[in-house]
Structure 1
Amino acid sequence: MPSFVDRPAQRYAGFRDTVTAEGLPEVAHRIGAIVGALAQRGVTPAGAPFFRYLSVGARLTVEAGVPTEGPVDLGEEYFTDVVPGGRYATSTHHGAPDGLHAATAALLEWGERQGVRWDRAETPDGERWGARLEVYRTDPREEPDAAKWETDLCFRLAG
């Protein structure tokens, strides 16, 4: 069942790209690269990795991110930023990533029934989001069975 939570601001190291839905796996592979680059610098992730959807339309602008305690320089391909804190609607998807589209639709529909105003704006290219996250709580190296994976959907409400 979805719920509302207050999330603090979270610094992260990330990689950003604009892709079609078919390009999402390439961005997802950057999570491992970011974790590896952090490890080379002696930095331990400060939380579960995530996808941040900045714009959603025919093309998606997405970020693969790994929470950090502070800024870290990982080179030209990567950046550090902050996911804004605030009030979020959240739900947990149990299962493989191919179910995330339906889980996202369910959270958005639930929010509409609750009268939620999302932190998003309509643009000619689609929706622009302030903070729309998929937080990957399960490490596939530790749990290879995708049916057992847990992903938190966290969508920021308009302030």
Structure 2
Amino acid sequence: MTSQTPVTPVIEERAVQPYVGIRRTVTMGTIGEATDALSDLFGWLAAQGITPAGPDFLRYHVIDMARELEVEAGVPVPADAQITVETPMRTGVLPAGRYLTTTHVGDPDELVAVTGAFLEWAERNGLRWDVSDTAAGERWGCRLEIFHLGPDDDPDRSTWQTQLAFRLAD
């Protein structure tokens, strides 16, 4: 079955990006718990006097759609920032490399269909993801939903911009 959702993918080189994040194990029904962590991260960064180095994101580490997802809410930080985090926060680095990206403008509830169309497009074009199958599910090298515009920018959900950026295999 082919998706009818249009996507316009682009391959881009991304540099290494340090970040602060909070990792959660969730289900599709409780994924909001991961996004709720973003307000905690922004508040903590502000209290430390650190300005985010880019838009916030969700990073999907392990995906088993029928059971659990290991998801991390993250905020990029400057490379030279001196950061000592408090539990449950952690520091990490988004890996450099080639990423297939597409940007969706519209309601975030549409992202499941957009992601499906994105994955189908890559398969049709012979691209391989940085992903491996494990007993816990698909383990991704780096699979991101990056939130460029959202509820803090405009309450109209049809204007929100979310970029998908999935790392390609080397």
When normalised by structure 2's length, the TM-score is 0.91
- Alignment equivalent of 1:5, drawn from 9, 12, 17: 12
Which one-letter code corresponds to 2:147 in the other structure?
Y
**5+ residue gaps in structure 1?**
none
Change (3 A) 1:53 1:71: farther
1:131 aligns with 2:138: no
1:95 aligns with 2:106: yes
Q: Deviations over 1:17-56 (max 9, x none)?
A: 1110111111101111101100001000000000000011
The CA distance in 1 between the partners of 2:16 and 2:82, in whole Å, is: 13
- Alignment equivalent of 1:115, drawn from 113, 126, 129: 126
Where in structure 1 do 4 or more consecutive aligned residues deviate above 3 Å?
none
Equivalent residue number for residue 31 of structure 1: 38
Relative to structure 2, which stretch is displaced further, 70-79 or 39-48? 70-79
When normalised by structure 1's length, the TM-score is 0.97
1:125 positional shift: 2.2
The aligned length equals: 159
Contact 1:13 1:71 in 2 (8 A): no
Contact 1:119 1:129 in 2 (8 A): yes
Which one-letter code corresponds to 2:119 in the other structure?
L
The CA distance in 2 between the partners of 1:139 and 1:102, in whole Å, is: 19
1:64 aligns with 2:64: no
